[in-house]
Amino acid sequence: MGNTKKYLYDYDDYEEKGKSPATMVEEILADPEFPGVTDLVIGSWGWACEDSCQDILDGITKQPERFAHVTSLFVGDMDFEECEVSWIIQGNYSRLWAAMPQLKELTIKGSTDLELGEIRHENLESLTIICGGLPVSVIESVRKAKLPGLKKLVLYIGIDNYGFDGDAETIRTLLAESDFPNLEYLGIEDSEIQDELAQVVLESKYMSRLRTLDLANGTLTDKGGKLILEKLPQYPNVKVLDVHYHYMSEQTVKDLEALPIEVDASEANEPEHYHGEIWMNAMLTE
């Protein structure tokens, strides 16, 4: 672990002190502790449901030498009390890839107005996007990405009401056409079609390379669980299975936990029945 520091503004900073994304980079650079920070975390920038983080991204990319010691960047680390994930106004990361060649890890929370542009980066090892709905435009950027060093990819797929405008075939194409030769951790999670996505992932070329399979936080049922039980023994390279937050039965959970690998099948949920229909929810949406 490196030296982590989080920078954020609360509502009073925004409303009473006039602080905003335009002032945050200046304050970060004025912090005497910042030169020792390797893991930079950007929390709320004051009123994230109305103001984007673009000024922060621009502030980094316009003076990249001042951020050359940062190897891990998290933009949007805020809980629902600060701003619901679907309300977070993100930005355009197109210039970040060239500006931070030393970056090893990038985490982005929120997908509204998110643009990744043309992704080319020799050293990035981890890319995580946490959101309530991932647009196809962002998925396309990831599909075309040139990330030869990528070891970990986690995508929260979310639901159509909050931004996901694709389907299972979108993810199948992503996994078929992307080229991440060193990928060992794959997370395709937080979906209301988690059973379908489990099948897509289990049929993908990456299965023979993975050490960790992450299908957590979605509506995984016994259908998906049994498919995992059927397919996973074909891949002894997989040592960790994460399916926490799910809708599987106790028996399927027991069967998964009996696999000779590390399994997290915690947080079982019960479907809701309303007017003769069954409702299941992904963990993070709004």
CA dist list (Å): 49 to 78, 83, 89, 197: 11, 7, 6, 30
Of 54, 50, 70, nearest to 21 (Cα)? Answer: 54
Predicted confidence (pLDDT) per residue in 223-248, tens digit:
999 999 999 999 999 999 999 999 99
134 pLDDT above the threshold of 80: yes
**Which helix H or strand E contains 61, and what residues bound it?**
helix 54-61
Mean pLDDT across the chain = 96
13 pLDDT above the threshold of 70: yes
Query: Residue 110 and residue 49: Cα distance in Å, rounded?
Result: 10
Structure tokens belonging to residue 168: 């299972």
Res. 18 pLDDT band, cuts 50 70 90: confident
Contacts of 281 (CB under 8 A, 6+ apart): 192, 219, 269
Predicted confidence (pLDDT) per residue in 62-100, tens digit:
999 999 999 999 999 999 999 999 999 999 999 999 999
Q: Report which of residues 170 and 276 the model is more confident about.
A: 170
